[in-house]
């Protein structure tokens, strides 16, 4: 698979999750979003296995260094996102009784792109490699994918307890479009508001 390098020996970016890297990608996602996904997919081992088993490989950009995935950005486009699995898959994995509250929580995270929109639904960099520019490169690559699919906008959500991620998005051209206050979720999921951010995309953002 052809990748994008930074010319400085940093990670190579790939436009799909390589076969065999599913568990690693699931682990990165879980480490970053376990607090949010836990109520839907706990215990952690089951959650990670569920994510790994239902990945849509072509909906993730991954950063690979020394043969290891060190970062991932997942997105929704054309009706599919990086993390898959429908109601039937949740029922099969967790059984009817344990599935119902999980499906309710997963429904909270359901995001459907509008026409001409790419929705980024998760970005995570290995904890030991944050602050080195990998997240920024993943964002640029996601924007390039959007441009190459003729999208005019990238959309994402950021929670109120993650101001550093929000600062990163703002530096990359995202602006807040609206904030939904969700105080009832603070105890269950650890955040009390979700801000939707937009970044306009032009053909000049395409890589090819």
Ligand X SMILES: CC(C)(COP(=O)(O)OP(=O)(O)OC[C@H]1O[C@@H](n2cnc3c(N)ncnc32)[C@H](O)[C@@H]1OP(=O)(O)O)[C@@H](O)C(=O)NCCC(=O)NCCS
90 within 8 A of 103, measured Cβ to Cβ: yes
Q: Is 25 in the site for ligand X (CB under 6 A)?
A: no
Which residue's structure tokens are 């051209």? Answer: 173
Render 147-194 in DSSP notation, one character per residue. Answer: HHTT-SEEEEEEETT-HHHHHHHHHTT-EEEEEEE-GGGHHHHS-SEE
Give the one residue of 52, 64, 119, 124 binding ligand X; rule: CB under 6 A: 124
Q: From the CB of 134, what's the least distance to ligand X, in Å?
A: 4
Q: How far apart are CA 17 and CA 62, in angstroms?
A: 6
Q: Is 190 in the site for ligand X (CB under 6 A)?
A: no
Q: From the CB of 18, what's the least distance to ligand X, in Å?
A: 19
- How far is C-alpha 160 from the chain's CA centre? 17
Q: In this chain, which stretch among 76-84, 109-117, 125-133, 180-188 interacts with ligand X, using CB under 6 A? A: 125-133
112 within 8 A of 155, measured Cβ to Cβ: no
Considering only residues 162 through 181, tell me which ones interact with ligand X, judged by CB under 6 A. 162, 164-165, 167-168
Q: Is 135 in the site for ligand X (CB under 6 A)?
A: yes
Could you give phi then psi for residue 161, rounded to 5 degrees?
-90, 15
Q: Is 119 in the site for ligand X (CB under 6 A)?
A: no
Considering only residues 27 through 86, tell me which ones interact with ligand X, judged by CB under 6 A. 32
Q: Is 136 in the site for ligand X (CB under 6 A)?
A: yes
Q: Using CB under 6 A as the criterion, which residues of the chain lie in contact with ligand X when the complex forms? A: 32, 123-125, 130-136, 158, 162, 164-165, 167-168
């Amino acid at each position: 698979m052809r990748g994008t390098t930074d010319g400085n020996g940093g990670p190579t970016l790939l436009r799909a999750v390589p076969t065999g890297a599913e568990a690693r990608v699931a682990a990165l996602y879980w480490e970053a979003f376990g607090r949010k996904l836990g109520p839907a997919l706990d215990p952690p081992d089951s959650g990670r296995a569920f994510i790994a088993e239902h990945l849509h490989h072509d909906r993730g950009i991954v950063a690979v260094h020394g043969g290891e995935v060190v970062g991932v950005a997942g997105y929704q486009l054309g009706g599919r996102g990086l993390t898959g699995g429908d109601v039937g898959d949740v029922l099969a994995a967790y059984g009817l009784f344990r599935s119902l509250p999980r499906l309710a929580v997963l429904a909270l995270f359901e995001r459907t792109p509008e026409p001409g929109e790419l929705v980024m639904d998760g970005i995570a960099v290995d904890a030991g490699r944050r602050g080195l520019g990998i997240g920024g490169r993943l964002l640029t690559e996601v924007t390039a994918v959007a441009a190459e699919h003729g999208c005019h906008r990238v959309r994402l959500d950021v929670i109120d307890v993650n101001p550093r991620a929000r600062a990163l998005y703002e530096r990359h051209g995202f602006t807040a479009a609206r904030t939904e206050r969700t105080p009832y979720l603070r105890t269950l999921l650890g955040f009390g508001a979700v801000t939707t951010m937009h970044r306009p995309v032009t053909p000049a953002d395409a890589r090819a």
